[in-house]
Structure 1
Amino acid sequence: MTEGTEGVAAAVVAPQRPAAAAPPADPRPSFAARLLGPQRRNLWFWVFVGPFVLGLGLFTYVPLVWSVYLSFFDAHNTVSPSGADFVGLGNYTAMLHDASFLGSLGTFALFTAFIVPATYALSLSLALMVGRLRRAQAFFRSVFFLPTACSYVVAAVIWKLSIFNGVRFGLANTVLGWFGADQTAWLSTTDPPWYWLVIVTVRLWLQAGFYMILFLAGLQRIPPQLYEAAAVDGARPGWQTFRHITFPQLRATSVAVVLLLVINAFQAFDEFYNLLSDARGYPPYARPPLVYLYYTALGRDQNLGLGSAGAVILALLIAVATVVQARWFGLGRKEE
């Protein structure tokens, strides 16, 4: 056997070394790939939504987080306190022992006791009346809903200068004059506290139409067969039908309306500030929490740390009140 033939035979007989295995590919797609989706199907979604998400994070969530951060510092006239100004829970303790802040929570409780049942009753009544109309229903829905689009500031100015003005050319005093009654300083009279009439009526006018639409949606979900069966059983239309059929069927809508009303009452600011403040400042009465925190954080002392602590306490109170109401009303519970 020749030398070349021996080399070929040795190559054939020698075992072949297996090739090195390629590293397994990572089955998890990258973050960018997950955002864009398969074949970049989500690209245009992020093109349109991305700027709004960026603005929401930059102008809403970043200030919220920074407010919580400031609440642990003695931040007078600054939004970037140093480590030496750290006070821990001192701002929270000061706010919880502040009689003015606790009084503002009492103002909120009184405002809620007025506005929640009044708005609930008015919006439900409007929904029942508009829902019974056979003609021009869309017109009346629009008429009652239009005040929702009005600015709270503009509405407060109209109420203050045109309707409840404390001089003779105010509409309310003009009507009272027709019956021989004396003029009333609606916004500065504290005994009796007529300013509550002004505050509650402007809020009623602004928000009753929105909740009327919610109740109308709930009324449209009630099966008409229930009313037909009730009529066969001898139920009289009116109060009896409303009590035993309409109102129980509106339970989920009622829970949502009450929750939204309480949360909006916590956030009351525009109507209080624009109705009661003047060139001399804000009066010592009827200060809801946001008005008090506004003067605490942006007033003479500009104590942003104390104001931030009050804002965090208020946010926690809203969360607790919402959870308690949801549990009480059984929100999310399966219907039996």
Structure 2
Amino acid sequence: MRGASRARQPLGTQNRTLWFWVFVGPFALGLVLFTYVPLAWSVYLSFFDAHNTVSPTEFVGLDNYTSMLRNDAFTDSLVTFAVFSAFIVPTTFVLSLALALMVNRTRRAQAFFRSVFFLPAACSYVVAALIWKLSIFNGVRFGLANTVLGWFGAEQVAWLSTTQPPWYWLVIVTVRLWLQAGFYMILFLAGLQRISPTLYEAAAVDGARPGWQVLRHITLPQLRATSVAVTLLLVINAFQAFDEFYNLLSDSRGYPPYARPPLVYLYYTALGQGQNLGLGSAGAVLLALIIAVVTVGQARWFGLGRKED
């Protein structure tokens, strides 16, 4: 019996390894083919003069990178990102935390409210942008926003084409806020449910007043790891903004010269009239490096991974 069981052990190990690759292999293959290979090829293209081709032959070294860094349109796109992140990161952080606090305090139908607030995260960015553009912030009197303004006797606003003041930021920020606040609410809610109730009981015994005092000295410190993760994800997602900008602001005439985030600019550089894939690839590599530096800098500043005293 012992000999038979020993004989079956290697076979069982081989079976586990085989089934591991049966389930993981297709996903790993897809990840390599559709993620890592295009990334490597993009880095390769960035060192070549690749106009209208993905198989260039003229090596230009770092010329694409220097041209991109000297390009005012690319630096302006980074400024657009900075403005967008200055709006969307703090507003999403505060709103998602407030929703998590309210849902966590709810004693009835908590699962219902959690599902309702999370539901927009499953909506397509393209569909949400078109709803915001055609139904809510339409520049004509039939749009919901202009209809509400008309009730108060205010003039109609061309939300997406008015640059003084830049009302288009209101449209862009609100659609992103609606789409992602529920997702980060779930992250905060998970962090809140990990806080031991004994901390709040001890605070009550010590005379701490419920509300801001408890939130400041107990809840927020206990949510530090979750807050850091949410902030990092928000900044990275802000760098990757494309769908809402493109679908809100572009029309039959093209894309306006304002509010071009980095991905929109790189899209028109690589796939526009010039189709300069080498220059666009260089910009994509620079953008990836900027995201990596910003992420690592934020993680070091927040002390992510550092052992607490």
**TM-score over 0.5 (shorter chain):** yes
| Separation of aligned partners in 2, 1:265 and 1:320 | 15
Match of 1:196 among 145, 165, 169: 169
Matched, 1:329 2:297: no
| Separation of aligned partners in 2, 1:276 and 1:104 | 15
Matched, 1:294 2:267: yes
Matched, 1:55 2:42: no
The one-letter amino acid of 2:126's match is V
State the TM-score, normalizing by the size of structure 1: 0.88
The one-letter amino acid of 1:111's match is F
1:139-166: per-residue Cα shift (whole Å, max 9, x none)? 0000000000000000000000000000
Question: Secondary structure of the equivalent of 1:130?
Answer: helix
The one-letter amino acid of 1:194's match is W
| Separation of aligned partners in 2, 1:235 and 1:40 | 58
Equivalent in the alignment of 1:141: 114
| Separation of aligned partners in 2, 1:40 and 1:176 | 67
Equivalent in the alignment of 1:176: 149
| Separation of aligned partners in 2, 1:43 and 1:241 | 53
Identity of aligned residues (%): 85
Equivalent in the alignment of 1:100: 73
Matched, 1:65 2:40: yes
Question: Secondary structure of the equivalent of 2:259?
Answer: coil
Equivalent in the alignment of 1:221: 194
| Separation of aligned partners in 2, 1:208 and 1:266 | 17
Q: CA deviation at 1:239?
A: 0.7
| Separation of aligned partners in 2, 1:52 and 1:215 | 30
Name stretches of at least 5 consecutive residues in structure 2 with no aligned partner: 1-10
| Separation of aligned partners in 1, 2:194 and 2:307 | 17
The one-letter amino acid of 1:58's match is L
| Separation of aligned partners in 1, 2:297 and 2:18 | 41
Alignment of 1:5-44 (within 5 A): 38-44=13-19
1:168-216: per-residue Cα shift (whole Å, max 9, x none)? 1100000000000000000000000000000000000000000000000
Match of 2:292 among 319, 322, 331: 319
Equivalent in the alignment of 1:165: 138
| Separation of aligned partners in 2, 1:39 and 1:306 | 48
Equivalent in the alignment of 2:52: 77
Equivalent in the alignment of 2:220: 247
Question: Secondary structure of the equivalent of 1:42?
Answer: helix
| Separation of aligned partners in 2, 1:193 and 1:37 | 65
Name stretches of at least 5 consecutive residues in structure 1 with no aligned partner: 1-35
| Separation of aligned partners in 2, 1:325 and 1:106 | 19
Equivalent in the alignment of 2:245: 272
1:82-132: per-residue Cα shift (whole Å, max 9, x none)? 1xx100000000000000000000000000000000000000000000000
| Separation of aligned partners in 1, 2:289 and 2:15 | 41
Aligned length: 300
Equivalent in the alignment of 2:233: 260
| Separation of aligned partners in 2, 1:91 and 1:38 | 51
The one-letter amino acid of 2:297's match is V
Cα RMSD of the aligned pairs, angstroms, is 1.1
The one-letter amino acid of 1:38's match is T
Q: CA deviation at 1:40?
A: 3.3
| Separation of aligned partners in 2, 1:167 and 1:299 | 30
| Separation of aligned partners in 2, 1:307 and 1:178 | 47
Match of 2:64 among 82, 86, 91: 91
Q: CA deviation at 1:41?
A: 1.9
| Separation of aligned partners in 1, 2:15 and 2:124 | 41
Equivalent in the alignment of 2:102: 129
The one-letter amino acid of 2:263's match is L
Match of 1:119 among 92, 100, 115: 92
State the TM-score, normalizing by the size of structure 2: 0.96
Matched, 1:187 2:160: yes
Question: Secondary structure of the equivalent of 2:265?
Answer: helix
Q: CA deviation at 1:37?
A: 8.7
Q: CA deviation at 1:39?
A: 3.1
